[in-house]
Structure 1
Amino acid sequence: MIADHALEWRPRHPTDLRQTLGSLRRGFGDPAFHLDRAGAVWRAVRTVDGDATIRVRQLPGGLLRCEGWGPGAGLAVEQAPELLGEHDDPSGFVPLLPVLDTAHRRNPGLRVPRTAQVFEALAASILEQKVITQQAHDSWRRLVVRFGAVAPGPTPRPMHVVPSPEQWRAIPSWEWHKAGVDPRRAATVQNAARHGRRLEEAAGMSQADATARLVLMPGVGPWTAAEVAQRALGDADAVSVGDYHLSNYIGHALAGRDMSDEEMLEALAPWAGHRYRVVRLLGAAGVRGRPRRGPRMPFVDHRAI
């Protein structure tokens, strides 16, 4: 099927499609994200002009091509360079350590994406609060498929657009329960959905002001705000303070020992402005963190409570 809109461009910096957009995928079953066999990334997106599906491909010579279908395709395709990290500037990043120098050289195309979809990132991040990742991804898949619209265009598999704030607000309590979401997280999403328009305005603010607006929401703290900033706002400096594993991962990757959040922030201080980039580079390079000796976060089936 011929796309409704298309755009080809040469990014300002080397850009690896899969590495850059991989952080937007909420598990392998994410209904709004698909990586096809040819290496193209498909995303179902909501825009102010309507729903859209985009396909982004890496072309020879460093070019990128985005094609879009649906009423919102024009705007979604226009915003594709921003999505692929067009405004992510790594020029001020200095590796300093051999492990980071190697990671940076081996992953020159890793950019920090910017979806500008604040509430989408917020809802997904709230679902990931204080539960194991697989559990959050299962909840995300069930709710998006159940309450999101079918994605337009020739999608390679059934895909769905993430529900609007109004649709999140309308989800009844039993559907949250069936999706394995406890009442606290459900209430946090639905309360934030009441302020959906105001939250989306954060995409046009400074990083500090956007974070300040996000944490005004009950149940949204520094960890959740950072997770949103990393994806929706393209913040290369946002650190997920309070993460169950991150401080010890960074501690062992950089210093060979456990660290508290405060020690992690101190260790990352030399890379101020690029601290999230450091985290992404270490992960992309396969740098190992803390050996898994202690207990993992337990799986809690809220459907049985």
Structure 2
Amino acid sequence: MTIAAATARPAAAADASLRWHSGSGLDLLRTLGPLLRGASDPSFSVQGGVVWNAFTTPDGPVTLRLAPAGGGAVDARAWGPGAAAAVAAVPRLLGSGDDWSGFDEPAFHATLPRMVREARRQSRAVRLPASGRMVDQLVPIILEQKVTVIEARRAYRYLVHKFGSPPPAAPLAPAGLRLAPTPAQWLQVPSWEWHQAGVGPQRSATVMRALRSAVALERLAALPAAEAAAKLQTIPGIGIWTAAEVVQRTHGCPDSISVGDYHLAAYVGAALTGHRTDDAGMLRLLEPWTGHRQRVVRMIQASGFRKPTFGPRMTIQDHRRH
């Protein structure tokens, strides 16, 4: 893998840019997919294979544009005070640290069931992304605790539109792109606005507790994934599921499993055996691939597998008028 040097103010008036070569094929959209909170995530926009992302770095806000450049390369351009920091983080964001070597060793690979071998074949251009941005991942994941994805994403969209900010201006940037609130802005969200968004007091209180030490929280990105996950769980309201979901995205962790997920165990059981299972059963099924268990799950998901319907769906609750 090679990285072209970032340059200040190149053509098209970007504040910083680089061309990153992955060394092999790279599916940009499928690699970044886990970072988006649905198709209507206000901080992301996908247009014709080009990904726009607005976020805040330690140096300030940034509007980042990522575009495929052929041959596994990606062109990154960024605008705003955080431009240099954003482009410097692009290789890690796109999975430069995602190590498949152990997984692809013949003896290890031979243990894979047919479905996973086929999923691996389909996933050669997909990497596990590592955003390194703890707050940006933690808040929407807390909002997903014990509710449906539809409820959580509706709440996140409402709060980002109301309490976020416009991103730095960039040529041809899509309308409606928003910066998620900073930790200070999240802490200023009043209780009635959490209620209006459909977020109950337990989840909003967890967000508030976590972000009161936002600087220490962001430092967890520099720790190994397992250590970062353990430290996250010292915050009341953050358990194994939340911590795993975060480090999967911030660290590109190939092994963290979302134990306690409402659907995941049944999904993995159906994919690997044709039958639903519970968390303990899921962990037993994935044990042969310890070190790459989340990678196996991600490959199954990327394959398009859909499990049979085993029971009733979770009911979508609307707490905003109560």
Question: TM over 0.5: same fold?
Answer: yes
Amino acid at match of 1:130: K
TM-score (ref. length: structure 1): 0.97
1:11 aligns with 2:27: no
- Give the aligned residue type for 1:65: D
Q: Which residue in the other structure is 1:47 paired with?
A: 57
Aligned residues of 2:160 and 2:180 also touching (Cα < 8 A): yes
Q: Is the 8 A contact 2:131 2:250 kept in 1?
A: yes
Matched, 1:80 2:80: no
Over 3 Å counting, the alpha-carbon distance change for 1:265 and 1:168 in structure 2 is: same
**Equivalent pair of 1:199/1:213 in contact (CA under 8 Å):** no
- 1:225 corresponds to which of 243, 253, 256: 243
| Unaligned stretches of 5+ residues in structure 2 | 1-11
Matches within 5 A, 1:177-188: 177-188=195-206
Quote the offset at 1:5 in angstroms. Answer: 0.9
Report whether the alignment pairs 1:216 with 2:234.
yes
User: In the alignment, is residue 113 of structure 1 matched against residue 113 of structure 2?
Assistant: no
Secondary structure of 1:59 counterpart: strand
- Give the whole-Å Cα distance in 2 for the aligned partners of 1:256 and 1:292: 12
Aligned: 1:301 with 2:301: no
Which amino acid in structure 2 is aligned with residue 140 of structure 1? Y
Matched, 1:66 2:84: no
Alpha-carbon shift at residue 91 of structure 1 (Å) = 1.5
Equivalenced residue count is: 303
**Which one-letter code corresponds to 1:114 in the other structure?**
A
- Residue 26 of structure 1: which of 5, 12, 37 is its match? 37
Matched letter for residue 71 of structure 2: G
Runs of 4+ in structure 1 off by over 6 angstroms are none
Residue 2 of structure 1 deviates from its aligned partner by 2.4
CA distance in structure 2 between the aligned counterparts of 1:298 and 1:29, rounded to whole angstroms: 21
Q: SS at the partner of 1:44?
A: strand
Identify the range of structure 1 (245-254 vs 158-167) with the bigger mean alpha-carbon deviation: 158-167
Render the CA deviation track for 1:153-191: whole Å, top value 9, x for unaligned.
232121111111111111000111111111111111011
How far apart, in 1, do the equivalents of 2:71 and 2:126 lie?
17
Supply the distance in 2 between the matched residues of 1:226 and 1:88 (Cα, whole angstroms).
17
Deviation for aligned residue 1:260: 1.1
| 1:262-285 Cα shifts (integer Å, max 9, x gaps) | 110111011111111111111111
Taking structure 2 as the reference length, the TM-score comes to 0.92
- Paired with 1:286 and 1:297, the residues of 2 have a C-alpha distance of 22
Letter in 2 for 1:86: S
Inter-partner Cα distance in structure 2 for 1:285 and 1:293: 20
Structure 2 CA distance for aligned equivalents of residues 197 and 13 of structure 1: 36
Deviates more, 1:113-122 or 1:11-20: 11-20
Q: Which segments of 5 or more consecutive residues in structure 1 lack a partner in the other structure?
A: none
* SS of equivalent to 1:46: strand
- What's the Cα RMSD here? 1.1
Tell me the equivalent position of 1:35: 46
Worse overlay, 64-73 or 153-162: 153-162
Give the alignment of 1:253-268 within 5 angstroms: 253-268=271-286
